[in-house]
Amino acid sequence: MGMKKNKMIRLTVSYLIILLMCVVIIYPLLWVIGSSFNPGQSLSGASMFPKNPTIAHYAHLFNPEKSNYLYWYMNSLKISIITMISTVILTSITAYSFSRYRFIGRKNGLLTFLVLQMIPNFAALIALYVLAVRTELIDTHLGLILIYVGGQIPINTWLMKGYLDTIPKELDESAKIDGASHMRIFVQIIMPLAKPIIAVVALFAFIAPFADFILARIMLRSNEKFTMGVGLYEMVAKQFGNEFTTFAAGSVLIALPIAMLFLCFQKYFVSGLTAGGTKG
């Protein structure tokens, strides 16, 4: 009876902790969603469940005569998609090289990636800005994409390398005996088996630029080139805080592409996150 009672107590405490965490996570989301349907622009009278809900704020965002939100949305999607594709391609090639080949500087290269990942983005902001100005990439999406891709490679290389290390090398050797080239082994054998970790890397690479504000705020100057984070901030700042419910509506729409991508890739996530921790 004592063991059964202790088990019930631990189970109850576990469920209470889970419930508390759910409340902490879900409450702000419900409040933002509710605020986006509140009439008026102030948050002072906003509630989680408005009595007179309205979609006027969403209509305002999608009205080209009143807002550039559509341009900001498309800019964010373009930057995130290009960053995601570029990161997956470069990270896959880099991780495959570190996982399958032994060459001079391999360990030092991995260590360098690890050290680079330890440096916070804020420490490099001035250097990135100066470099962008000198290369005439300031106020361009290309400059922002290059920064995002470069920042994604180190940590994702370690993550993907750990997963590729779990794929038996006997598959490579068998393919070589059959006359397959290194590129064919990489494309037709390794990458299909690495779909779980590719999905994880793709999601991380998409979310980072889509939700970023600091780098985009520093790099971009023109209103038509703003991403959603910068555009929504400028909308609120220029209106002296009178557009908060419209800001909430814009924030809700930010989550849609991320949620859709997560639903598309979710079947790969568990194996992709748990299999990347092997020692290489």
Is residue 38 located within the same domain as residue 75?
A: no
225 Cβ contact list (under 8 Å, min separation 6): 75, 139, 140, 141
Let me know if residue 258 belongs to a domain.
yes
pLDDT at residue 278, as a whole number: 45
Let me know if residue 225 belongs to a domain.
yes
DSSP letter assigned to residue 190:
I
pLDDT at residue 270, as a whole number: 62
- Whether residue 192 contacts residue 123, with contact meaning beta carbons closer than 8 Å, is answered with no
Instruction: Round to whole Å and give the CA distance between 279 and 252.
Output: 40
Is residue 176 located within the same domain as residue 209?
A: yes
User: Which residue type does 2 have?
Assistant: G
Is residue 50 located within the same domain as residue 124?
A: no
Q: What are phi and psi of 268, to 5 degrees?
A: -95, -15
pLDDT at residue 84, as a whole number: 94
Q: Which of 40, 58, 76 is the last residue of a domain?
A: 58
Is residue 49 located within the same domain as residue 87?
A: no
Neighbour tally for 123: CB within 10 Å: 9
Residue that has been written with the tokens 């209470």 in this structure: 16
- Residue 19 belongs to what H/E stretch? helix 2-36
Is residue 148 located within the same domain as residue 213?
A: yes
Let me know if residue 280 belongs to a domain.
no
Domain that holds residue 91: 65-274
Is residue 220 located within the same domain as residue 123?
A: yes
pLDDT at residue 239, as a whole number: 52
Is residue 153 located within the same domain as residue 257?
A: yes
Could you give the number of structural domains in the chain? 2
- Where are the alpha helices (H) located in 44-189, listed in sequence order? 56-61, 69-100, 106-118, 125-134, 141-164, 170-177, 182-184
Q: Which of 58, 91, 106 is the last residue of a domain?
A: 58
Instruction: Round to whole Å and give the CA distance between 62 and 102.
Output: 54
Is residue 6 located within the same domain as residue 102?
A: no
Let me know if residue 48 belongs to a domain.
yes
Q: Which of 58, 76, 97 is the last residue of a domain?
A: 58
Is residue 76 located within the same domain as residue 91?
A: yes
Let me know if residue 165 belongs to a domain.
yes
Q: What is the pLDDT along the chain (280 residues), one digit of tens a residue?
A: 567 777 888 888 888 999 999 888 888 888 888 888 888 766 666 667 777 888 888 888 888 887 888 899 999 999 999 999 999 999 999 999 998 888 888 888 888 888 877 777 777 888 888 888 999 899 999 999 999 998 888 889 988 998 888 888 888 888 888 888 888 888 888 888 888 889 889 998 999 888 888 889 989 988 888 998 888 888 877 655 567 788 888 888 888 888 888 888 877 766 544 544 444 4
